[in-house]
Chain A
Amino acid sequence: KQEVTQIPAALSVPEGENLVLNCSFTDSAIYNLQWFRQDPGKGLTSLLLIQSSQREQTSGRLNASLDKSSGRSTLYIAASQPGDSATYLCAVNADFNKFYFGSGTKLNVKP
């Protein structure tokens, strides 16, 4: 069974810092990897989707990379802002319709 791990579990940084969130998975046979953010009491908002054939995706201040062979993905957030404070989840699409989620990294960006 696919296992997805996110490190760190929590992170607190001052505004303006660049930061990296990590996601690792145990089985490299994946269809895609998706990064989400979840605000308290809300659903998940899709940030970036990386298909298995891709190495990275960018959206604004966010950049996600994928290294299937090593079972790793990173989410890079540039010039962090207080509005970036949320829990960030990664999900791996391993079987055709099965998505395996990490437990998330809770990010706090201090003004």
Chain B
Amino acid sequence: GAGVSQSPSNKVTEKGKDVELRCDPISGHTALYWYRQSLGQGLEFLIYFQGNSAPDKSGLPSDRFSAERTGGSVSTLTIQRTQQEDSAVYLCASSPGGRADNYNEQFFGPGTRLTVL
């Protein structure tokens, strides 16, 4: 079946502009995660959505970052007034949730490479 998809695959923007990154999780997956991977760094947790529960936003680095998940499916990560230090690969993952044996197994999308000039 279809995996996690993300768009755009690459985004180049100017400092100070706003950007929106999109994630389409695997159909039926209830959990969705956003991570950031900076060059040579490990994965940094940003935000977690589970069903209709309030999201865990504890990893968002500043109030310029926000995310929403509409209808329990597609998610959008928005970065306002982008800064050069926001340049990174933004990865989205989803998990089945529920009673599946692999309820907490993460499946990743290909990522969006963001470059802020």
Contacts and interface: CB of A to CB of B under 8 A. Distances in A.
Contacts, number: 50
A93 interface: yes
Contacts of A46: 105-108
A36 B107 CA distance: 10
A32 B108 contact: no
Interface in B67-95: 91, 93
A44 B104 CA distance: 15
Interface residues of B, number: 23
Main secondary structure of the interface of B (DSSP, over half): strand
Interface stretch (A13-21, A59-67, A72-80, A97-105): A97-105
A43 B111 contact: yes
Query: Which of B43, B48, B105, B108 has its CB near the most chain A CB atoms (within 10 A)?
Result: B43
B48 A34 contact: no
A107 interface: no
A102 B41 CA distance: 9
> Nearest 4 pairs between A and B by C-beta?
A44-B108, A43-B108, A101-B43, A43-B110
